[in-house]
């Protein structure tokens, strides 16, 4: 039992190191690398979401159509952000929705409205945030991954210190109905640690944006927590422990990007306001 537990810790640690290294490497290298890395993460997360929420009788052609469409939307957002495509990717939503409705005509079993609703929800919940990363990272030919890297660092620190403070001091449940292990002590400890890191990042990279980085840290803490709770609610509803098994020791991609999915849309609005 001890050997098994130790092996599990090692597996989780190694997976975490590789995961973090890939994210950091992509954000510090080139727009193509970031496009590929986050595209894979988006695709796997979306597939995991479909596996959780879709009924067993869902048509394979319908599923493949969904997968193709979300990749097209993600790719168009990249081309739009880098100036290679002048038409907004939002224009693809109309044919996307029409194709879903037509494909459902060939689906003999299942709930038509439920299937379409799940697909549209997946588009908003998963595809939209990942597509926004292309716009956050690229401004025509210019690529800058520092802001998104800062967001990830804040997320990782918040998650880590929320867990540590929760284990050490957690007594008051934050949202027991959805996530019994989360505590107010963990939330506060993680939040304070995240704000502290934002000050360090501001001092090193953005000395004139001290308050702005503090605001970004607040977004990470609050909306990251809601993102985590939302995914937990989905898994609880469909009675699954993890979204998948793509990341040994960590579950699935959706489990690792749950906070990110809520943070990015809000952060994008915030950055547009303060810029």
The β-bridge relationship of strands 138-139 and 173-175 is unpaired
What is the residue whose two structure tokens read 């926004």? 132
Tokens linked to 80: 């739009």
**What is the tens place of the pLDDT at every residue in 55-90?**
666 677 778 888 888 999 999 999 999 998 888 887
* CA 70 to the chain's CA centroid: 15
Average of per-residue pLDDT across 175-192 = 88
User: Is the pLDDT score of 4 beyond 70?
Assistant: no
Average of per-residue pLDDT across 82-105 = 82
Beta bridge partners of 175: 179
Q: CA-to-CA distance for 34 and 28, rounded, in angstroms?
A: 9
**What is the tens place of the pLDDT at every residue in 202-225?**
998 888 889 999 999 999 999 999
Q: CA-to-CA distance for 131 and 137, rounded, in angstroms?
A: 10
The pLDDT score that the predictor gives to residue 85 is 85
> What's the sign of the alpha-carbon dihedral 220, 226, 232, 238?
negative
User: Is the pLDDT score of 132 beyond 80?
Assistant: yes
- Mean pLDDT over each residue of the chain, to the nearest integer: 88
The pLDDT score that the predictor gives to residue 99 is 81
The β-bridge relationship of strands 138-139 and 142-143 is antiparallel
Considering all CA atoms of the chain, what is the largest pairwise distance in Å, rounded to the nearest integer?
60
**What is the tens place of the pLDDT at every residue in 14-63?**
888 999 999 999 999 999 999 999 999 999 999 999 989 876 666 777 78
The pLDDT score that the predictor gives to residue 223 is 97
Please answer whether residues 57 and 110 qualify as being in contact, where contact means their C-beta atoms are separated by less than 8 angstroms: yes
Please answer whether residues 187 and 162 qualify as being in contact, where contact means their C-beta atoms are separated by less than 8 angstroms: yes
Q: CA-to-CA distance for 220 and 232, rounded, in angstroms?
A: 17
Distances from the Cα of 272 to the Cαs of 133, 213, 219, 253, 261, in angstroms?
Answer: 14, 14, 14, 28, 18
Specify the pTM.
0.91
| pLDDT above 70 as % of the chain | 94
**Ramachandran area for residue 139 (φ above 0: left; ψ -120 to 50: alpha; else beta):** beta
Neighbours of 72 (CB within 10 A): 14
| pLDDT above 90 as % of the chain | 56
User: Is the pLDDT score of 261 beyond 90?
Assistant: yes
Question: With 0-12 CB in 10 A as exposed, 13-18 as middle and 19+ as buried, what is 81?
Answer: buried
> What's the sign of the alpha-carbon dihedral 27, 33, 37, 43?
positive
Confidence of residue 5 (pLDDT cuts 50, 70, 90): low
Confidence of residue 126 (pLDDT cuts 50, 70, 90): very high
The pLDDT score that the predictor gives to residue 112 is 77
Virtual CA dihedral for 230, 235, 241, 242, nearest 10 degrees?
-70
Q: CA-to-CA distance for 141 and 213, rounded, in angstroms?
A: 25
Helical H runs in 206-274?
210-237, 253-274
The pLDDT score that the predictor gives to residue 245 is 83
Q: Which of 200-204, 231-235, 243-247 has the lowest mean pLDDT?
A: 243-247
User: Is the pLDDT score of 7 beyond 90?
Assistant: no
């Amino acid at each position: 039992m001890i050997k098994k537990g130790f092996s599990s810790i090692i597996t989780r640690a190694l997976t975490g190191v590789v995961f973090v290294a890939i994210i950091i490497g992509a954000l510090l290298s080139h727009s193509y690398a970031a496009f590929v890395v986050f595209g894979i993460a988006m695709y796997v997360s979306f597939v995991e979401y479909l596996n959780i929420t879709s009924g067993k009788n869902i048509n394979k052609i319908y599923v493949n159509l969904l997968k193709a469409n979300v990749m097209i939307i993600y790719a168009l957002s990249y081309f739009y952000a880098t100036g290679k495509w002048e038409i907004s990717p939002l224009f693809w939503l109309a044919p996307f929705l029409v194709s879903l409705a037509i494909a459902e005509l060939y689906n003999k079993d299942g709930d038509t409205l439920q299937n379409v609703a799940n697909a549209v929800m997946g588009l908003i919940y998963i595809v939209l945030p990942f597509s926004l990363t292309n716009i956050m990272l690229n401004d025509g030919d210019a690529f800058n991954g520092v802001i998104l890297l800062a967001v990830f660092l804040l997320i990782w620190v918040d998650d880590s210190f929320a867990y540590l403070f929760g284990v050490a001091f957690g007594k008051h449940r934050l949202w027991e109905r959805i996530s019994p292990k989360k505590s107010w002590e963990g939330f506060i400890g993680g939040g304070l640690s995240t704000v502290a890191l934002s000050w360090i990042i501001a001092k090193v990279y953005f000395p004139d944006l001290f308050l702005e980085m503090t605001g970004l840290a607040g977004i990470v803490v609050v909306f990251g927590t809601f993102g985590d709770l939302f995914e937990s609610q989905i898994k609880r509803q469909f009675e699954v422990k993890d979204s998948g098994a793509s990341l040994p020791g960590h579950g699935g991609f959706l489990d690792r990007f749950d906070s990110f999915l809520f943070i990015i849309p809000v952060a994008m609005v915030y950055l547009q306001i303060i810029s």
